[in-house]
Amino acid sequence: MKVRRPKLTLLDRLYLPQILAGMWRTLKHIPRKKFTRQYPEEKFKLLGKYRGAPTLVRNQAGQVKCVSCQLCEFVCPPKAIRVLPGRRDDSAPAEARIEKEPEDFIIDMTRCIYCGQCEEVCPEQAIFLKQDFAVTGYKRSELEFHKDKLLELGGIHDDPICKWKKK
């Protein structure tokens, strides 16, 4: 098929009016407030409901809240979560009588779809989707988040109920 070239007027062919119009647009924006960001150094401001990377949290006493009930593992649609259940040290102080704690808690971030079902299902409010959205790495193994990494991302989350304290 042969494409016909559009017929250009003299002004079009001069080229200068287009250059000037473009420059005028640029000049117009120079005094205005800029809305580009220096990503990734400067992060986007997200809504509170934004669902980013899932993380594990500790309570105010510094204990891991997860009791490895594995409901998140069960509910996870892409099967990204893997929990290795473990037993908590019996010699811990009275308020630490939680009995169960994950030996390891693995979230494969190459599989996670950030759906938030793990947070929804957690009976201990131990898993929260934080606002980290750019999960990157040079190797696949770097994107397999283990318990320590997840706890570091999650930080402390105040527990108003402290169910286990009443044991």
Partner 1 sequence: MSVENVNLTIDGRAVQAAVGTNLIEAARLAGIEIPHFCYHPKLAIAGNCRMCLVEVGLPQLGPDRKPVLDAQGQPRVNFGPKLIIACNTTVSEGMVVLTRTPRVIKARRGVMEFLLINHPLDCPICDQAGECRLQELAVDYGQGCSRFVEEKEHKPKRVVLNEKITLDDERCILCSRCIRFMRDVAGQDCLGFVKRGSRSTLASYPGREPATNYDLNIVDLCPVGALTSTDFRFRQRVWFLKETASICPHCATGCNTTIWSREGVVYRQTPRDNAAINQCWMCDYGRLNYKFINDPDRLTAPQLGRQDATWADAIAHVAERLAAVRAAGSKIAGLGSACATTEELFLFAKLFQALESGLLDSVPRTDIADNFLLNADRNPNMRGAQLAGVAANPPGSRIAEIAAGIERGEIKALLVLGEDAVAAGLRAELLAKLDLLVVLDILPGATTDAAHVVLPGVSFAEKGGTFINAKGRVQKINPALAAPGQARPEWEILRNLLAAVSKAWKKPAPDFPSLGKVFAALADETPALKGWTWEDIGSEGRDL
**Binding stretches for partner 1 (CB under 8 A):** 67-71, 73-74, 85-87, 90, 97-100, 123-124, 163, 167
| Minimal distance, residue 128 CB to partner 1, in Å | 17
Between residues 100 and 146, which has the closer beta carbon with respect to partner 1? 100
Q: Whole-angstrom Cα distance, residue 57 to residue 154? A: 5
Report the alpha-carbon angle 165-88-125, nearest 5: 55
Between residues 53 and 128, which has the closer beta carbon with respect to partner 1? 128
| Minimal distance, residue 108 CB to partner 1, in Å | 15
| Minimal distance, residue 124 CB to partner 1, in Å | 6
Between residues 121 and 135, which has the closer beta carbon with respect to partner 1? 121
Between residues 90 and 158, which has the closer beta carbon with respect to partner 1? 90
User: How do the residues of the chain divide into helix, strand and coil, expressed in percent and rounded to 5?
Assistant: 30, 15, 55
| Minimal distance, residue 101 CB to partner 1, in Å | 9
Residue 58's alpha-carbon distances to 31, 50, 159, 162, in angstroms, are 48, 21, 9, 12
Comparing C-alpha atoms, which of 12, 158, 150, 155 is closest to residue 72?
150
| Minimal distance, residue 141 CB to partner 1, in Å | 20
Residue 76's alpha-carbon distances to 27, 98, 114, 140, 166, in angstroms, are 52, 24, 10, 20, 31
Between residues 74 and 133, which has the closer beta carbon with respect to partner 1? 74
Task: Please state the separation of Cα 145 from the chain's center in Å.
Answer: 12
